A and B are shown apart, each in its own frame.
Chain A
Amino acid sequence: MSSFIAYLVSGIAIGCTYALVASGFVMIHRVTRVVNFAQGTFAVVGGMATASLLRHGLPHGLAEVVALASAAALGLLIGVVAIGKPGTPPLSSVIITLGLAIGAYAGEVMIFGDQPLSFTMAHGSTSFLGAHVDRQLFVIMGVTVVSYALLQLFFGRTYVGKALTACSSNPYAARLSGINPSRMGLLAFAIGGALGGLAGVLITPIQPVSFDSDSLLAVNGFAAAIFGGLMHPSTALLGALVLGVSESMIGGYVGASYEIEVALVLMLAIMVWRAARTPVMAEEVA
């Protein structure tokens, strides 16, 4: 029983980091219709920058904030290149984000080196329902809940949040009401960068991150995001938790080496199932 609890808690925590990556995907896709292949890069930059800043003597708190700010700045930069040129079709923008994700490797290797980095945030473990659980896992869950609540408030209660929602449902109408959709797109990229960076900051203490960890993080985040058709952050959260818990259970009971396969096969199955239910016409018109 105690091992079940341990797997469950760790699965939920890992799921939370996937949810943050996924919400970044959703954020950017809703506003710009671009699937950002560089979403895993933000997590890598967030995690590696924090580890490296801590190593250079910055105190906790400041290091994390600087890392998040650099992930957001990187998001903005990628947004400028991907959607900044007027008339760039969304599929070209997708290919550009793919290119920038590779380009980011160059910067990461130059700044942080090519070895995995890690750091400690919350020390030790605690006893929870009879199981030993790392304190870091609770930190991850707490921060994720707070950030989802903040996102909810941002979209529901602020003008900027409502403007972002307006751009996602009808860019033309949004423009008529005086909203600049391309500026909103850039804002979405910056927020998506910060969300991805947050996932990286939270996960690096339990899984060391190197410059090429991005594809696995991005694939898991994408798998979670497609639960909600890349449009709904709350369904993405649900998908991420299902994914995290099932990976953790399989890793615990069947064997750690099958974690990746199961997650990916699950993602493929969901995508194909969703595609079979969506008529071609709906996709081509959208």
Chain B
Amino acid sequence: MTGRLTSARLVGAGAAAVVAVVTALLPLFLDSSQLTVYTELLLSAVVTTGVSLLLGYAGQISLGHGGFYAAGAYTAALMATHGMPSLLGLACAPLVAGLLGLLVGMPLLRLRGHYLAFATLAFQLILLAVIGQQSSMGGDIGLSGIPALGIGSRHISDFRGYAWVAWLALVAVMILTRNIVRSRPGRGLRALATSEMAASSSGVPVGRYKLVVFSLSAAFAGLAGGIFAFFIAYVAPGSFGVLVSFQFVVMAVVGGLGTLWGPLVGAATITLLLQWLNDLGARPGMPDYAPQVFSYAVYALLLVLVVLFLPRGLVPAGTDALRLLARRRLARAQPGADAAGAADATGAGVEEPVPSPQRQ
């Protein structure tokens, strides 16, 4: 059984490497409008990885990650427009967002479920209202003229460079998430998602773990926000509305909560679908509200259908189907292996009592 597990793990690692190489080479073949979609997709995936870590592994919902995204973007934008090195601004974006997450999380993480959802939503509304009133932060009009990202006199001059920056950020965030989830604190997180009482009586420092994960996922959002600010070269409160936060939750749920690849799959599914519908809605003969209406309808339909019919999301549903297929083929090749497969399945069940998170 251990042999088969290692081979499954090898297949997984190989698939991950193929995906990494293909996505890294992809910008070479995309035109500038496709590169914009590519970059925004990857940045969404970075934030969604944090949301999924928080919601899928630690069981804490946040409808305020658009606020941390904004915090990162504004940190980078303010520092860069005040003449500081752009790389320093990019480094400070996740730090400031993470610190803000720590400050906000301290009182708010006492709340659970829908209370936490509304509280984080309120945090974002407060943050946006405050930014809109600060003339030093550009007010409602926003900050423009953000210089390009670069070191010294060398700057990223085209969209392709930002696409690779976003790719690097996503890889870093995913590797970090993978290592956290597999560590002892990661198992503690999954325990507290099921029952905080049981976890704390088994010695998991519930409050501290929740706070650290909240802050970390805020930092992920801040990192994406910082890259976004340099990429778009313009930030305004209007870019970070409540719908942005909802979008990250939708992507996390659609892709599959508590999975490493779910956020990327969710972000890709929704971004590409929206892009396709946007093109469709912008065709002549369509009413001018069509693109807007399509995008709202897509969020709603995907979220509702996935929650009702694929409650664990696309990635777990997909891997389950693949596993079933492989097991059937194995059973056909050597009769009697089916029983071993069943034993394997129950073994995995005993090892991981939490139903939703799935081994990669």
Q: Least Cβ distance of B178 to chain A in Å?
A: 25
- Interface segment among B19-27, B79-87, B106-114: the answer is B106-114
Indicate whether A275 sits within 8 Å of B115 (C-beta atoms), given known contacts A114-B292, A260-B129, A261-B130.
yes
Structural contact, A102 and B293, CB atoms closer than 8 A: no
Structural contact, A268 and B289, CB atoms closer than 8 A: no
The yes or no answer to B142 lying at the interface (CB within 8 A) is no
Structural contact, B125 and A99, CB atoms closer than 8 A: no
- Interface segment among B4-12, B299-307, B331-339: the answer is B299-307
Residues of B within 8 A of A110 (CB): 289, 293
Q: Identify which of B114, B133, B293 gathers the most chain A CB atoms within 10 Å of its CB.
A: B114
The yes or no answer to B234 lying at the interface (CB within 8 A) is no
The yes or no answer to B325 lying at the interface (CB within 8 A) is no
Indicate whether A284 sits within 8 Å of B122 (C-beta atoms), given known contacts A95-B253, A106-B300.
no
Indicate whether A284 sits within 8 Å of B197 (C-beta atoms), given known contacts A92-B307, A215-B125, A215-B242.
yes
Q: Of A37, A95, A215, A222, which one neighbours B307 at CB under 8 angstroms?
A: A95
Indicate whether A215 sits within 8 Å of B121 (C-beta atoms), given known contacts A260-B129, A272-B111.
yes
Structural contact, A219 and B122, CB atoms closer than 8 A: yes
Residues of B within 8 A of A280 (CB): 196-197
The yes or no answer to B296 lying at the interface (CB within 8 A) is yes
With the chains together, A283 CA to B59 CA distance in Å?
15
Q: Least Cβ distance of A257 to chain B in Å?
A: 6
Closest to B308 in A: A85
Closest to A91 in B: B113
Q: Identify which of A99, A103, A216 gathers the most chain B CB atoms within 10 Å of its CB.
A: A99
Residues of A within 8 A of B114 (CB): 35, 91, 94
Indicate whether A81 sits within 8 Å of B126 (C-beta atoms), given known contacts A275-B115, A283-B112.
no
Q: Of A102, A226, A257, A272, which one neighbours B107 at CB under 8 angstroms?
A: A272
Interface residues of A in 58-103 (CB under 8 A from B): 81, 85, 88, 91-92, 94-96, 98-100, 102-103
Structural contact, B299 and A103, CB atoms closer than 8 A: yes
Closest to A255 in B: B133
Total of A-B residue pairs, C-beta within 8 Å = 119
Closest to B128 in A: A260
With the chains together, A275 CA to B118 CA distance in Å?
14
Interface residues of A in 185-236 (CB under 8 A from B): 215-216, 219, 222-223, 226
Structural contact, B111 and A271, CB atoms closer than 8 A: yes
Residues of A within 8 A of B153 (CB): none
Residues of B within 8 A of A94 (CB): 113-114, 117
Interface residues of B in 138-186 (CB under 8 A from A): none
Residues of A within 8 A of B246 (CB): 98, 102
Indicate whether A219 sits within 8 Å of B118 (C-beta atoms), given known contacts A100-B300, A100-B304, A268-B108.
yes
Indicate whether A105 sits within 8 Å of B125 (C-beta atoms), given known contacts A88-B308, A98-B246, A272-B107.
no
Residues of B within 8 A of A275 (CB): 110-112, 115
Q: Of B107, B195, B292, B304, which one neighbours A81 at CB under 8 angstroms?
A: B304
Q: Least Cβ distance of A91 to chain B in Å?
A: 6
Q: Of B115, B117, B126, B304, which one neighbours A103 at CB under 8 angstroms?
A: B304
Residues of A within 8 A of B212 (CB): none
Q: Of B296, B297, B299, B311, which one neighbours A92 at CB under 8 angstroms?
A: B311
With the chains together, A29 CA to B292 CA distance in Å?
31
Contact string against B for A residues 103-122, beta-carbon threshold 8 Å, 1 for contact and 0 otherwise: 11110011001100000000
Closest to A113 in B: B289
Residues of B within 8 A of A100 (CB): 300, 304
The yes or no answer to B326 lying at the interface (CB within 8 A) is no
The yes or no answer to A265 lying at the interface (CB within 8 A) is yes
Indicate whether A99 sits within 8 Å of B126 (C-beta atoms), given known contacts A109-B293, A114-B289, A268-B107.
no
Q: Least Cβ distance of B200 to chain A in Å?
A: 8
The yes or no answer to B30 lying at the interface (CB within 8 A) is no
With the chains together, A276 CA to B110 CA distance in Å?
7
Q: Of B115, B118, B197, B307, which one neighbours A99 at CB under 8 angstroms?
A: B307
The yes or no answer to A267 lying at the interface (CB within 8 A) is yes
The yes or no answer to B99 lying at the interface (CB within 8 A) is no
The yes or no answer to A131 lying at the interface (CB within 8 A) is no
Residues of B within 8 A of A113 (CB): 289
The yes or no answer to B88 lying at the interface (CB within 8 A) is no
The yes or no answer to A1 lying at the interface (CB within 8 A) is no
Q: Least Cβ distance of B193 to chain A in Å?
A: 12
Q: 9 A-B Cβ contacts within 8 A?
A: A35-B118, A88-B308, A95-B253, A113-B289, A114-B289, A226-B115, A268-B119, A272-B108, A280-B196
Q: Which residues of B does A touch, CB under 8 Å? A: 107-108, 110-115, 117-119, 121-123, 125-126, 129-130, 133, 195-197, 242-243, 246, 249-250, 253, 289, 292-294, 296-297, 299-304, 307-308, 311
